[in-house]
């Protein structure tokens, strides 16, 4: 891993799981790590842990519920006001929802948190990233994207909602977004790549019912640790090997093919344009 002294890394969903593990690894490499979480108490605890584990680490936090577009905008504004540079943006925050719920913006929650938050935050911070000597954007998707289908007539899954369908759709949206963004970044010094972290023992899904959580806890013995799951995130954020690599999908620190549907450029562009409208970036 390259030393990142002087660099600034912003990582969402970093108070637990693979996000926390990636933040700790980034702190070890030097530079400044800014974590984002929904609860200030957890952010403070995680920053304290980073500073205890890595003496002299530069760690900070910002609080935001990323399912809210206004809070995403506030987060971006606060970051820009506080930091003159951004070298690495890791879009990691995510969840899945057993029953259909709506965000404060009226969007289905898997779509709002897992896709729209990534899309809006990245676009709001793109100016900072493009000013960096070598900006990197890391998009945490999932192997579940291969089961996803984008229904543009029912983007918010109002018909026949199921957790699996809505979650897979949001993770496919991550990959479509990555490829569309990579095209837009052509000719710049900023790269973007997506990844599947593997089946990781984290708190993802703990917002769902007790039985699903209990079954997940029973399976944790067969899952990767958060540290192992974070390896590919850290690799894409810090490794010199991928400094100039963009528009790829990674698993276990290797570029692999994503699903056939994810390579459909018309779908990539259609989702981008619809996301722009939903985020109020165009009128």
54-61 average pLDDT score: 96
256-277 average pLDDT score: 98
Is 167 annotated in the active site? Answer: yes
5-22 average pLDDT score: 94
pTM: 0.91
Higher local confidence (pLDDT), 207 or 156: 156
CA distances to 4, 36, 52, 100, 191 from 97, in Å: 36, 21, 34, 7, 31
Q: How confident is the model over 153-166, as pLDDT tens digits?
A: 999 999 999 999 99
CA distances to 18, 114, 139, 148, 225 from 142, in Å: 13, 11, 10, 10, 16
Q: Are 230 and 18 in contact (CB under 8 A)?
A: yes
pLDDT at 254 over 90: yes
276-280 average pLDDT score: 98
241-265 average pLDDT score: 98
Question: Rounded distance, CA 35 to CA 29, Å?
Answer: 15
Strand partners, 9: 33, 88
Q: Which member of 61, 96, 118, 167 is catalytic? A: 167
For the chain, what are the domain ranges?
Answer: 8-218+229-278
Kindly report the CA angle at 68 between 276 and 128, in degrees rounded to 5? 60
Count how many residues are written for the chain.
Answer: 283
Percent of the chain scored above 90 by pLDDT? 85
Question: Rounded distance, CA 268 to CA 203, Å?
Answer: 30
Place of tokens 């799981």: 17
Count other C-beta atoms under 10 Å from residue 7's C-beta: 24
pLDDT at 36 over 90: yes
pLDDT at 216: 53
Pick the CATH number of 8-218+229-278 from 3.40.50.150, 3.40.50.2000, 3.40.50.720, 2.60.120.10: 3.40.50.720
């Amino acid at each position: 891993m390259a030393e990142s002294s002087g660099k600034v890394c912003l990582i969402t969903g970093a108070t637990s799981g693979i996000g926390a593990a990636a933040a700790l690894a980034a702190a070890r490499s030097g530079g400044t790590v800014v974590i984002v979480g929904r609860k200030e108490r957890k952010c403070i605890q995680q920053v304290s842990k980073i500073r205890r584990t890595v003496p002299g680490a530069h760690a900070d936090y910002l609080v935001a519920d990323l399912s809210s577009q206004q809070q995403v905008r506030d987060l971006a504004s606060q970051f820009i006001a506080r930091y003159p540079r951004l070298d690495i943006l890791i879009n990691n925050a995510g969840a899945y929802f057993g029953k259909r719920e709506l965000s404060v913006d009226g969007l289905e929650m898997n779509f709002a948190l897992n896709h729209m938050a990534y899309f809006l935050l990245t676009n709001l911070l793109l100016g900072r990233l493009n000013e960096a000597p070598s900006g990197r954007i890391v998009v945490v998707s999932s192997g579940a994207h291969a089961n996803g289908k984008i229904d543009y007539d029912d983007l918010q899954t109002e018909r026949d909602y199921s957790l699996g369908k809505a979650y897979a759709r949001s993770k496919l949206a991550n990959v479509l977004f990555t490829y569309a963004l990579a095209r837009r970044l052509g000719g710049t010094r900023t790269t973007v790549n997506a990844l599947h972290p593997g089946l990781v023992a984290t708190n993802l899904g703990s917002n769902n019912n007790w039985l699903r959580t209990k079954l997940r806890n029973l399976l944790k013995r067969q899952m990767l640790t958060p540290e192992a799951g974070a390896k590919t995130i850290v690799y894409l954020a810090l490794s010199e090997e991928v400094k100039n690599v963009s528009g790829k999908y990674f698993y276990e620190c290797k570029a692999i093919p994503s699903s056939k549907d994810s390579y459909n450029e018309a779908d990539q562009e259609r989702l981008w344009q619809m996301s722009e409208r939903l985020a109020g970036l165009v009128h």
